[in-house]
Amino acid sequence: MRITGAQALIKSLEMQGVEVIFGLPGGAILPVYDPIIDSPIRHILVRHEQGAGHAAEGYAQVTGRPGVAMVTSGPGATNIVTPLANAYMDSTPLVVVSGQVATGSIGTDAFQECPITGVTMDITKHNWLVTDAADIPRTVAAAFHVATTGRPGPVLIDVPKDISNAQMEWYWPQTVEDLDLPGYHPNIEGDPELVHRAAEMILEASRPVIYAGGGILKASGAQALYELAVRTGIPVVTTLMARGAFPDSHPLCLGMPGMHGNYTAVTAMQRADLLLAIGSRFDDRVTGKVSAFAPGAKVVHVDIDPAELGKVRRAEVAIAGDARAVMEEMLEALGSMGIGPEGSAPESGSPAARRPDLRPWISEIRGWQERYPLTYDRSGDTGVLKPQQVVESLRDAAEPGTIVVSGVGQHQMWASQWWRFEEPYTWVNSGGAGTMGFAVPAAIGAKVGRPERAVWAIDGDGCFQMTAQELVTASAERIPVKVAILNNAYLGMVRQWQEMFYEERYSEVYLSPDLPDYVKWAEAMGCVGLRVESPEEVGPAIDKANSIDDRPVVVDFRTDAFEKVYPMVPAGHSNDDIVVSPTEEGAR
């Protein structure tokens, strides 16, 4: 069957099971947009290519399937560079197809020419410039294989216009060997000897902590994590990327560690004698000053990416493998050492029976939880609306399984701290890259991926202004996301740092609560716009927002501009220097 390269490209996406493409057409990608008309794949026309990329990320994060975005050459392609960098940092599987000028024009500074494979070389897992239409099916199949296996990540396929127009004989590669990837062999299984050694260390530890990272979610490992935690009785911290991987309501869940983690999660890691780091990467926002991080802990580090092992902290046992596969191997090894099902006593005479008693450790942890709970000033004396109260009210009114999406900054930390994540894939945010403006388009992608779920974007006013135009996309495509703007009229996190570390010299952080008028803006974009100025208006506004399911809703919550995120470990300090909120101090 002779078809064009463009037809082969769309057909290849269909073969991969793609159900939706987020994109925006232009000159060089024109040939590829023609067969989209005849394809069952849904195309969602964004208003800016950055929106296409983040929407594809949101889709990928909630479905576990790769997100797909399509853009034209030149500025179309450069506009999606930020989402590629973001997806690379957060290991999100993304396949971006970009148009390119005709092969004969490459290198001539042609109209809308940009060497996007060169630009994105260091922020994609791999990229391809297609130079022969016959390569298209194989390249697409290879791109999806690379994006979704091993440590997932974004890939880009750059397709010159003449290649899209050229004829080719259709085929579809049948096996991985057909993909021409001689240097790509991701490892899955952990080395059994190392797993055995890790299991022994688990049974030797008296102050163990599971340091659960986003890799667990990438590996569909939440169930294995649950088994590992409950069968061993080891408490779990869930990093920003792993919120939801272990239920917040479980007594063993200590919540989020790190710069704005809660006191107990941070301190338990500092005092641990064993850290089981699974799918986590000792990010600087978690460790604080590395040399002072968890000084008494031996480390078992499990990661599918061997380059993460030993990159920041040398592990006593470093296991390269898929988080889920290795946890299952660990459970088997622990079983053979006498660890039974949840709640059962260890087999008598087994190594597990000689295990140190964890009760003193758990009781020490309970002490921290009682003395230093997350708090904020709830008195409401001033009549000022606290951002944390908004998050709590949204949480309490949310139906189970609601997906929460955030941008980057104070609102992100409050959302992560104050929401209660009970199941995996209900939390979508920009972790490693810290991309402001992520929330609105990512929420759209999440809602497209899980249309049966309620999707709330908890956004900041600064973030919202970066990508709000995608609410036009949401209205046009009938994607009823809800956006809560925690409008404190500032670039709040920067303001917080200027207050704390720059002697309250506020440089270029004021945004104004009224400019723009968020309600009018929302209405202009086809959304319902609501405004909340006092604590008592919160509940009714949220109820109204939750009752609307035929269009997007934006709620402008006017929140306290002076509220800061606590606890906080100042950058570059030891986690022992954690600063709790003034209200926590009072409770001591």
Partner 1 sequence: MTAVEYGQPVGQPHPLHHILSVLVENKSGVLARVASLFSRRGFNISSLAVAPTDDEHLSRITIVVDVASAPLEQVVKQLDKLVNVVSISELAPEEATERELLLATLSAGPLERGQIVQLVGIFGGQVVDVGADAITVVLAGAPSKVDDFEDLLRPLGIVELQRTGRVALPRLHRLR
Annotated active-site positions, please?
A: 49, 111-112, 161, 493
Binds partner 1 (CB under 8 A): choice among 15, 41, 102, 181: 181
| Residue 305 makes contact with partner 1 by CB under 8 A | yes
Residue 219 neighbours by CB under 8 Å, 6+ apart: 279, 304, 322, 323, 324, 325
Please, which residues have CB within 8 angstroms of residue 470's CB and are 6 or more apart in sequence?
46, 47, 48, 51, 55, 440, 441, 444
Considering only 17, 251, 310, 380, the residue that binds partner 1 (CB under 8 A) is: 310
- Assess contact for 173 and 141: CB atoms under 8 A: yes
Instruction: Report the DSSP beta bridge partners of residue 155.
Output: 95, 126
The size of the chain, in residues, is 588
- Residue closer to partner 1 by CB (options 305, 499) is 305
Which lies closer to partner 1 via its Cβ, residue 104 or residue 251?
104
* By the rule CB under 8 A, 184 interacts with partner 1: yes
> Which 3-state string (H, E, C) describes 394-419?
HHHHCCCCCEEEECCCHHHHHHHHHC
- Least CB distance to partner 1 at residue 183 (A): 4
558 token code pair: 């006017």
Write out the H or E segment, with its range, that includes residue 445: helix 439-449
Min dist CB 456 to partner 1, Å, is 36
3-state secondary structure 296-314: CCEEEEEECCHHHCCCCCC
Q: Is 126 in the site for partner 1 (CB under 8 A)?
A: yes
8 Å CB contact between 173 and 200: no
Given the complex with partner 1, which of 139 and 473 has the nearer CB atom? 139
Distance between CA atoms of residues 407 and 463, nearest Å: 6
Residue 118: CB minimum distance to partner 1, A: 7
- Phi and psi at residue 98, to the nearest 5°: -120, 145
Per CB under 8 A, the segment of 11-19, 96-104, 302-310, 403-411 that binds partner 1 is 302-310
By CB under 8 A, residue 129 contacts partner 1: yes
What 3-state class would DSSP assign to 530?
Answer: strand
* Residue 118 found at the interface with partner 1 (CB under 8 A): yes
Which member of 47, 54, 125, 301 binds partner 1 (CB under 8 A)? 125
Q: Which of 111, 169, 193, 311 binds partner 1 (CB under 8 A)?
A: 311
Residue 161 in contact with partner 1, rule: CB under 8 A: no
| Binding flag, residue 170, partner 1 (CB under 8 A) | no
CA 190 vs CA 149, 151, 204, 352: distances in Å:
16, 14, 21, 22
**CB burial of residue 233 (10 Å; 0-12, 13-18, 19+):** middle
CB nearer to partner 1: pick between 128 and 521: 128
Q: Tell me: does residue 122 bind partner 1 (CB under 8 A).
A: yes
Complex with partner 1: residue 314 or 354, whichever CB lies closer:
314
Q: Among the candidate windows 124-132, 358-366, 479-487, 497-505, which touches partner 1 by CB under 8 A? A: 124-132
Q: Write down the least CB distance from residue 139 to partner 1, Å.
A: 12
* 329-388 positions binding partner 1, by CB under 8 A: none
Q: Which of 69, 133, 136, 146 binds partner 1 (CB under 8 A)?
A: 146
For residue 510 the two structure tokens come to: 């004021």
Q: Is 197 exposed, middle or buried (0-12, 13-18, 19+ CB in 10 A)?
A: middle
3 state SS of 2: strand
Residues 481-540 interacting with partner 1 (rule: CB under 8 A): none
Q: What angle do CA 263, 264, 269 make, to 5 degrees?
A: 105
User: What order of strands is seen across the sheet that includes strand 236-238?
Assistant: 253-255, 236-238, 208-212, 274-278, 298-303, 317-320
Q: Which of 38, 40, 174, 182 binds partner 1 (CB under 8 A)?
A: 182
- Which of these segments, 256-264, 309-317, 450-458, 473-481, binds partner 1 (CB under 8 A)? 309-317
Pick the closest to residue 224 from 216, 234, 232 (CA basis): 216
Stretch binding partner 1 (CB under 8 A), from 115-123, 250-258, 518-526, 548-556: 115-123
Beta bridge partners of 509: none
Shortest Å, Cβ 190 to partner 1 = 17
Contact call for residues 333 and 196 (beta carbons, < 8 A): yes
Tell the smallest beta-carbon distance from residue 436 to partner 1 (Å): 24
User: Closer CB to partner 1, residue 172 or residue 184?
Assistant: 184
| Cβ proximity to partner 1, 96 vs 428, nearer residue | 96
Of 187 and 375, CB closest to partner 1: 187
CB-wise, 307 or 500, nearer to partner 1?
Answer: 307
| Residue 156: CB minimum distance to partner 1, A | 12
Query: Closest distance between partner 1 and the C-beta of residue 108, in Å?
Result: 17
Nearest to 410 by CA among 284, 290, 500: 500
CB of 122 to partner 1, least distance (A): 5
Among 290, 307, 571, 587, contact with partner 1 (rule: CB under 8 A): 307
What's the min distance (Å) between Cβ of 187 and partner 1?
11
Contact pick of 7, 92, 100, 117 for partner 1 (by CB under 8 A):
117
Q: Six-digit token pair at 331?
A: 């459970």
| Contact window for partner 1 (CB under 8 A) among 179-187, 349-357, 477-485, 550-558 | 179-187
Asked if 183 touches partner 1 (CB under 8 A), the answer is: yes
Q: Which residues contact 451 (CB under 8 A, 6 or more apart)?
A: none
Considering CB under 8 A, how many residues would be counted as binding partner 1? 18
Enumerate binding residues for partner 1 (CB under 8 A).
117-118, 121-122, 125-126, 129, 146, 181-184, 305-307, 309-311
